[in-house]
Amino acid sequence: MHNYTRTELYIDGAWVAPQGTGTIEVIDPATEQPIGSVPAGNADDVDTAVAAARKAFDPLITLAERRDRLTGVITAMEKRLPDIAETITAEMGAPIRIAQTVQTQVPLAVARGFADVLDTFDPEERIGNSLVVREPYGVVAAITPWNYPLYQVVAKVLPAIAAGCTVVLKPSNEAPLSVFEFVEALDDAGLPSGVVNLVSGPGAVIGERLAEHPDVDVVSFTGSTGVGARVGEIAGRTIKKVALELGGKSANVILDGADLATAVKVGVGNAFLNGGQTCMAWTRMLVPRARYTEALNLMESAVAKYTVGDPWDPGTRIGPSASKGQYETVLGFIERAQRDGARLLTGGADMIRDTGYYVAPTVFVDVDPDSELGQEEVFGPVLAVIPFDDDEDALRIANGTPYGLAGAVWAADDATAIAFARRVQTGQLDINGGAYNPAAPFGGYKKSGIGRELGRFGFEEYLQTKSLQLPA
């Protein structure tokens, strides 16, 4: 049985009563009804958790101890994945088919990737007469979003543990229940007290106190660019390391000569995955003007397969938006796009179910690259299609936003696609349908963030480097 009424925080190896007195209600976006609640902690709870993490931090922790901790966590987490998948569906509306795969199995692959990195990690290196030592940073504040609640936590907490750091974790208010279940797994794994601590509560209270806390050494934040800027500003006052994984407006560039049918089909699937609530979603599809009509015909057929409905139905591909606020935000984008002159191909802002925060999969064509829809992250099932004249025009459009998180390039051959991708200002690009790699670094250019997650690069974000200059 799930426990969706949480009354305690996890601090210093125990479930404890919060010092804050409020609660945060968790709403099922498919029914618009409350399903549970978590404590609204306060700054005193943060201070207690940080003190526990500081006390638990051992800068001389051995690799063997780190491996034991990581192995225990992965084993305990894997046992709970079926339950966590159900909770993710309940609290943020991810279709069960997505919750049981992308939302839980991908985090497991990511976690195992960190274990592989640690197995081959050597903390010491000789460079001339110097012994270069990589040491754990210290106390990590991990602030995570609601769209992939387990994945985002795993991408921060697991490499921190592997590096020998300790953690204070703040989950989102919209989807915190799965994170509480994850922390129960950490408790089952027998981590030493204080290694991982959990404090839920308002971002303006918990997040800002973590960012400013003098005993926090690293802040790792995933969320909107606006909030990320605020976190970075506050953290900068105490000169601590900040890693930011922020928004995106990724371009799916289909060059002339590419397999158009495949590129459109895969592009639509990517844009609508998780109801479009994905920072790396390819939300701008760039199509050669000469093949534009053909692409639109293919698109209508592809979109028709994305059924909207009850997230518990295995046939559903798009569930509700995760919250009322996000639902209203997406509808606002759709209404303004029509006002700004984009042509609606399919979908729109009309209500499609009597209950629940459901948005129809929506495609706008003839989108002005400089319009709001061409520039800003929607975070819903909304795709902007933009024609281009030649490769240079495509490159101008692809690079023409403040973001640079992800994207794709399709071409007649890999060499052509790679040559184009080298000129795109973004952190990750799929080449002719290249598969997701949980060991490859992920992060953004420009306003999409600072730092990298996943694999060796994500692990090294939690290490700092010391040089010992040895006598000749």
Catalytic residues: 245, 279
HEC states along 197-245?
EECCCCHHHHHHHHHHCCCCCEEEEECCHHHHHHHHHHHHCCCCEEEEE
CB atoms closer than 10 angstroms to residue 381: 30
Query: Contact, 9 vs 184, CB < 8 A?
Result: no
390/383 Cα distance (integer angstroms): 21
CB atoms closer than 10 angstroms to residue 354: 6
187/254 Cα distance (integer angstroms): 47
Least Cα distance to 158 among 78, 239, 229 occurs for: 78
Burial class (CB in 10 A: 0-12, 13-18, 19+), 129: exposed
CA angle 264, 407, 160 (to 5 degrees): 135
How distant, in Å, are the alpha carbons of 175, 182, 376 from that of 87? 9, 11, 30
What H or E segment, with its residue span, contains residue 123?
Answer: none
DSSP state of 322: S
235/333 Cα distance (integer angstroms): 32
CB atoms closer than 10 angstroms to residue 99: 28
CA angle 84, 220, 117 (to 5 degrees): 75
Kindly state the tokens that stand for 90. Answer: 């309940």
Per-position DSSP letters for 171-202, written without gaps between them: --SSS-HHHHHHHHHHHHTTPPTTSEEE--S-
378/333 Cα distance (integer angstroms): 7
DSSP lists the bridge partners of residue 168 as 141, 197
